[in-house]
Amino acid sequence: MPESPAVNRSPAASATGQPAAAGRVQLLLLLAGSCLSVLGAVLIAPVLPQLSRAFAGTPGVDVLVPIVLTAPALLIGLTAPFAGVIADRIDRKRVLLLAMPAYAVFGTAPLYLGSLGAILASRVLVGLCEGAIMTCCTTLIGDYWSGARRARYLSLQTLVATLSATAFLALGGVLGASGWRTPFWLYAVAAPLAIPMALKLWQPHREPATRLARLPWRQLAAPCLVTLFGGVVFYALIVELSFVLTGIGVTATGTIGAISAIMSLATAAGAIAFGRLSGKTPRNLLPVEFGLTGAGLLLVFAAASPAVVTVGAVFTGFGTGMLLPTLLTWALNRLTFDQRGRGTGLWTGTLFIGEFACPLALAAIGTGAGGLQGALGLVGVASAIAGILTAFLLRRNNQPLDVTRD
């Protein structure tokens, strides 16, 4: 299907009537901004034990320190829909440029804060900024490109985020060797990144309107509900793989890191595969993606050797690498310009709430399923069932994912 032209115009181009075509520079800036939520989620994971020791005298430190890592994800889930409303009502670029330096300020605050409570408060504010940044970057990708190109770039967003997570984990470990505060310096990168964003990005042109178009809630309900479960499935093995490997006797950190890296590469391969399959419908793709993910989790559940766990991790990573861009494109592509920010924010919020709930859900399921591997097995069964249900419920949906409205 031919791609429809982008509807955006840069401020300068609007005066001449010539459309401004977004290119590689704009894509790189938006992908870099999208990685900031990944930075917030994983960078400080390697220094959490040091953080616990530094604030050992703080009441409830065993509960508060893990929340320092996960609080931004919860805040993204809670605030991204509101960021989408602001982006639609005001200006995507303006919201992004306000959030970037604020992210740098709040992200680096633990460098000088002296209490765990204050650090936790700064992490809450980081999550607020991440919700705005992620929503605006994804919305602008949807604004600047359309059709199959949009689908490819959304899959590239998943690919880059996956690879950056691995890089940020390693970097956090290296920086953490000189102290638990050192990794927080990396949050400062958002401030200089805002400068080329201010120069090279633009707010897409739209006709003035007194009221925003209403969101098609019934159209968004299915992709957002599936995404809520998809967030749990996507995050399950990311956060639990090291514990599974330890449970079967793998204690070498190098081996654990290598298997985790293999899963990340499989996720990246899944995102690349989606870019080639974006002309298919959700009915075609979702059953395959949930089926692959479910098969991988069931292999991990049944495994007693690192080799089988690795195969299961590859299946799971490949499936989830295809799953996220499928869900996002399904939710985004049929929205008009003045619906896109709110729709993207709503989708982003449901994804991150699912990710935040994932460790809690696995812990609860594990108490009745004989432990972590039993919980992962049940999530695998649920994923397979989700694949069957989506095939059945979407049997009338024959619209390819690269169809778009502008």
Q: What is the pTM of this model?
A: 0.79
Distance CA 334, CA 157 (A): 19
Distance CA 187, CA 361 (A): 30
Distance CA 40, CA 33 (A): 12
* Intervals of CATH 1.20.1250.20 along the chain: 21-150+172-205, 216-400
Exposure string over 58-70, b if 16+ CB within 10 A, otherwise e: eeebeebbeebbb
CATH of domain 21-150+172-205: 1.20.1250.20
Note down pLDDT in tens along the chain; length 406 residues.
344 444 444 443 443 343 468 888 999 999 999 999 888 777 887 787 788 888 888 888 877 887 887 788 888 889 998 988 888 888 889 999 999 999 999 999 999 998 999 999 999 999 999 999 999 999 999 889 887 788 888 888 878 887 887 788 778 878 888 888 998 999 999 999 999 999 999 988 665 555 777 888 888 888 999 999 998 998 888 778 877 888 888 877 678 778 888 888 898 889 888 877 767 788 889 999 999 999 999 999 988 888 999 999 999 999 998 998 899 888 887 788 888 888 888 998 999 898 888 888 888 898 888 888 899 999 999 999 999 998 888 776 666 665 555 5
Which CATH number, 3.40.605.10, 1.20.1250.20, 3.40.190.10, 1.25.40.10, labels domain 216-400? 1.20.1250.20
Model pLDDT, residue 297: 94
**349 in Cβ contact with 80 (< 8 Å):** yes
For 250, counting Cβ atoms within 10 Å of its Cβ (0-12 exposed, 13-18 middle, 19+ buried), the class is middle
Q: Which amino acid is at 113?
A: L
For 23, counting Cβ atoms within 10 Å of its Cβ (0-12 exposed, 13-18 middle, 19+ buried), the class is exposed
Exposure string over 252-287, b if 16+ CB within 10 A, otherwise e: eeeebeebbeebbbbbbbbbbbbbebbebbbbbbbb
3-state secondary structure the chain: CCCCCCCCCCHHHHHHCCCCCCCHHHHHHHHHHHHHHHHHHHCCHHHHHHHHHHCCCCCCHHHHHHHHHHHHHHHHHHHHHHHHHHHHHCCHHHHHHHHHHHHHHHHHHHHCCCCHHHHHHHHHHHHHHHHHHHHHHHHHHHHHCCHHHHHHHHHHHHHHHHHHHHHHHHHHHHHHCCCCCHHHHHHHHHHHHHHHHHHHCCCCCCCCCCCCCCCCHHHHHHHHHHHHHHHHHHHHHHHHHHHHHHHCCCCCHHHHHHHHHHHHHHHHHHHHHHHHHCCCCHHHHHHHHHHHHHHHHHHHHHCCCHHHHHHHHHHHHHHHHHHHHHHHHHHHCCCCHHHHHHHHHHHHHHHHHHHHHHHHHHHHHHHHHCCHHHHHHHHHHHHHHHHHHHHHHCCCCCCCCCCCCC
For residue 359, is it left (φ>0), alpha (ψ between -120 and 50) or beta? alpha
